[in-house]
Every structure is written in structure tokens, then in C-alpha cells.
Amino acid sequence: MAVDKKFIGKKYPPVEYEVCKEKVKEYATAVGDLNPLYMDEQKAQQSRYKGLIAPPMFAVVYTKDAVAQVMFDRELALNLPMLVHGEQEYEFVDVVRPGDVIVTEAYVADIYEKGDKDFVVAGGISKKKSDGSTVTRGKWTFVIRR
Amino acid sequence: MAITAKIGDIFTLQKEVDKYRPIFYAGASGDFNPIHIDAEFGKMVGLGGAILQGLCTMAFVMQTVSEWSHDPYKVKKLKVRFAKPVLPEDTITITGKVTTIENSTARCELIAKKQTGEEVINNAYAEVDLG
């Protein structure tokens, strides 16, 4: 059964995430990207960032719970065993650092069919809680085989 | 620091996926989907074992671009298509190529391949601020 297009534009409650330096180190270690800007406080101090930063792809961590609301939405009722993550994009608007509290709002960006597959695109806009400035915009394309 | 880049420049990075990488990535990212941490489950659903999280492979692609740009936040956009699953003990080679430069932004087309030559990420690109 095709996913109902009436859900395009549906918004979900904002989800907060506080970035912490130990989690950033854990993430950088797990993906094997040992850039001192993520790991080494002294070296990061001497850089143009004047302190530790999160890898841009750390967005995966702080946006996860917001976008999970789309995946597990009972109204959308996505057939999860048949779902694969088809595409991903992130726009990196501003630097994220340990200590930042990031608020992500997820929404249904698009729903369409191609062949025997349904495509559901979830969007997520992440902002700093402190000043409301945008840090990332993400798009997750889920492909559901029928 | 400005980046010197011209159309046709190529950069590359190789990443080895060890046996436990999906489990480390699950812990770091929170993605504990059984297809990533349970090889028997992965086989049962036809994936041939526990597969690496696509977003981990995307992080490899990001590392490739950010090592080239010498500054991770010069990368303004990254888009990928997950073409095939990556399995533990695969070796992934990521290649980027500068295809256009406009308004001090380089567009780099990206591809990630397994040791077999199979494409695991394609239709991928990054936009990098050269200023």
C-alpha cells in the first residue's frame, strides 16, 4: 500500500541534544576520523576554532531522535522490515561545538512512488538553542519495497 | 586558509572496515538496528551478515573531503546515495573529483567502492567553500 501523500509537510515536536566532548570523541573514534580538532583540546585551542569542535557528520547523532519520530510514526505506518536508507544529505551551515544545545525539528519533506517502491523523505532543521541560528539541514530518503 | 583547487583535481582515502566496526558505530551513534549488530539476523533478511551503517560509510566520505579541504566546516553540503551494503572486513576506497568551481565553491563528485570494485556509495557530491 502506498504511503499517503497527505502527510507531506507534517511536523514533529522538537528534540533537544546537548553536545558533549566525550561523545564527540567516541563518535570520531568509531568512524576512525582522529582529527585533533575533535580529540585534542590543546591543538584545537591553537586552531582557528579556538577550541574543540564536533565533526560535521556528528549531526547524525544529534538529529537521530528527531528523525526517528518520522520512521516510527504510526500514522505514516512505514513498513520498517522493508525499509532501507536510500539517500542522505546534510547542509552544514555553522560549526557545532561541545557545550552547544541543538534543537532539531523533523518534518515529512516528500512522499512519492517510483516503480514498485515508495519513497519517504524526512527533513530535519537543527538550530542552536542559545540563539536560534541554524547549524544543519538534513534530508533522509527512505525507500520502502512493497 | 584558502584552498587551492582546480577542476579535475582528484583526492582519495582508503578505509578498512574491521569485524567490530558496526558495533563501535552502533554505540557511538545509537543505531542498534539488528541488521548492524547481529550477523544471523542479517543473513536471515538476505544481507549476507551484519552490515555497516550507511551513515558510517558516509562519515568515511566526509573524512575524505575534509582531509582534502584541511578544514571540516569548509564542507558546506554532502549528499550520498547508498548503493550497496558494506560488510565487516571490506576495504572501502573513496574518490573525489572537482567538477566545477563557481563563486569560490568547488563541487566534488564522490564515489566509494569495495575491494571488488562494487560501488557502495554513488550519485554523491560535496560542496566545499574554497575561501
Helices (H), B8-130: 21-29, 34-37, 39-44, 54-69
Residue among B25, B54, B72 whose CB faces A56 most closely: B72
Into how many domains does chain A fold? 1
**Residue B3: what pLDDT?**
81
**Residue B13: what pLDDT?**
98
Q: Is residue A37 part of a domain?
A: no
Q: Is residue A48 part of a domain?
A: no
Q: Is residue A23 part of a domain?
A: no
* Of A90, A86, A81, A74, the residue nearest A124 (C-alpha): A90
**Please, what is the average pLDDT of chain B?**
96
**Residue B1: what pLDDT?**
63
pLDDT average, residue stretch A17-31: 98
Write the DSSP symbol of residue A2.
P
Q: Is residue A128 part of a domain?
A: yes
Range of the domain at A128: 9-18+54-145
- Restricting to A residues 63-82, those with a Cβ less than 8 Å away from any Cβ of B are 64, 81
Q: Is residue A28 part of a domain?
A: no
For the record, the C-alpha cell of B4 comes out as: 587551492
| A99 dihedral zone (left: phi>0; alpha: psi -120 to 50; beta) | left
**pLDDT range class, residue A1, cuts 50, 70, 90:** low
Judged against a pLDDT cut of 90, whether residue A121 lies above it is answered with: yes
pLDDT average, residue stretch B65-94: 97
Encoded amino acid at A118, one letter: D
CATH, residue A117: 3.10.129.10
Residues of B in contact with A48 (CB under 8 A): 1, 71
ipTM score for this prediction: 0.96
Q: Is B111 helix (H, G, I), strand (E, B) or coil?
A: strand
Q: Is residue A70 part of a domain?
A: yes
**Residue B6: what pLDDT?**
94
| Cell 547523532, residue located | A61
B85-127, pLDDT tens digit by residue? 999 999 999 999 999 999 999 999 999 999 999 999 999 999 9
Q: Is residue A32 part of a domain?
A: no
